[in-house]
């Protein structure tokens, strides 16, 4: 069970600021470890997703265009108070919004930067205390934004340190695993477009295994990601979070994850992390810092 001083402090601050995390909403199995280390993945744009992917436990529905305008500043102040050095920023899908939520990513990235700028006029003692301190590195894990290049460009120009978008599964299974509005080819297009807009920006994607894919299909997905310019890949075991989600078809053996990681690095990925409990933001800081090095999978 989650416990410890760091976990309790993190939990208390997130509750105080009323911030959603994908750690809780998606029932991530690594919540205890990550929060115990004082790291978390912030989930912006509310807690209700307009899409219904069959692997995900996040609440679905129609938020009717409602946005919490204070969310970017609350996230920034929570990050400053927790003294985080690496932040992962993700969101629900918001197909109900004209910009599909891209603007809130931009605002949150700006809020994080402004809170740490020297002479910041952030409206709290936390913001003032953070002035002059090195701001954390920020990784975004975005929806596909409908494949709209102008929205992807907005987020890229807000200067995240890593741009992530998950492919999730192999091409054959994508229609039954993901919402019909998502697609395998569109996700590859998102990653390729970001790399074209900002060739030096690190791009990242994640895959789940155990949903019924074959080894050849998985290898093809890795090749497709690399061909789209993806720099970092994560591969983890799918676990059924709630009964309404897809069942697990197979539990992949640890030695298979070892082989997958070696294969990914051989394909030219700058960083790869494969293991049973690996998720797209698991050990994100270490993976981003060690792109050029192979590291053993986390069992």
| Residue ranges per structural domain of the chain | 1-160, 168-299
User: What mean pLDDT is predicted for residues 30-38?
Assistant: 57
Q: Which residue has the higher pLDDT, 283 or 253?
A: 253
Asked whether 118 and 130 are in contact (CB, 8 A), the reply is: no
**Euclidean distance between CA atoms 229 and 164, whole angstroms:** 12
Question: Rounded to the nearest 5°, which phi and psi values hold at 162?
Answer: -140, 140
Sign of CA pseudo-dihedral 173, 51, 138, 201 = positive
Out of 3.30.379, 3.40.30, 3.30.750, 2.30.30, select the CATH number for domain 168-299. 3.30.750
Q: Which pLDDT tens digit goes with each residue over 104-149?
A: 999 999 999 998 874 455 545 455 555 556 788 999 999 999 999 9
d(CA 101, CA 119): 29
Residues 257, 276: contact at Cβ < 8 Å? yes
pLDDT tens-digit series, residues 53-103:
999 989 999 999 999 999 999 999 888 888 888 899 999 999 999 999 999
Give me the helices (H) in the chain, please: 5-17, 22-25, 31-36, 71-82, 102-116, 125-130, 149-157, 174-177, 184-197, 215-227, 254-266, 284-289
């Amino acid at each position: 069970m989650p416990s410890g001083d760091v976990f309790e402090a993190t939990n208390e601050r997130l509750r105080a600021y009323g911030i959603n995390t994908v750690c809780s909403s998606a029932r991530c199995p690594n919540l205890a470890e990550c929060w115990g280390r004082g790291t978390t993945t912030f989930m912006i744009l509310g807690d209700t997703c307009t899409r219904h992917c069959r692997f995900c436990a996040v609440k679905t529905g129609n938020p009717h265009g409602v946005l919490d305008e204070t969310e970017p500043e609350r996230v920034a102040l929570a990050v400053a108070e927790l003294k985080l050095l690496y932040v992962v920023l993700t969101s629900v899908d918001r197909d109900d919004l004209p910009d599909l939520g891209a603007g809130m990513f931009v605002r949150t990235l700006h809020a994080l930067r402004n809170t740490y700028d020297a002479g910041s006029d952030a409206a709290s003692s936390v913001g003032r205390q953070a002035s002059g301190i090195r701001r954390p590195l920020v990784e975004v894990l975005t929806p596909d934004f409908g494949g709209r290049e102008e929205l992807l460009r907005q987020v890229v120009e807000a200067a995240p340190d890593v741009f992530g978008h998950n492919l999730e599964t192999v091409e054959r299974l994508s229609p039954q695993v993901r919402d019909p509005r998502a697609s395998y080819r569109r996700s590859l297009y998102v990653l390729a477009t970001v790399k074209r807009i900002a060739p030096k920006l690190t791009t990242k994607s994640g895959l789940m295994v155990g949903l019924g894919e074959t080894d050849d299909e998985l290898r093809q997905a890795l090749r497709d990601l690399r061909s789209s310019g993806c720099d970092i890949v994560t591969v983890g075991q799918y676990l059924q979070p709630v009964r309404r989600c897809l069942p697990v078809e197979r539990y992949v053996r640890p030695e298979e994850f070892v082989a997958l990681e070696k294969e990914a690095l051989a394909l030219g990925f700058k960083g790869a992390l494969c293991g049973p409990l690996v998720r797209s933001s698991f050990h994100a800081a270490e993976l981003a810092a060690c792109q050029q090095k192979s590291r053993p999978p986390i069992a």
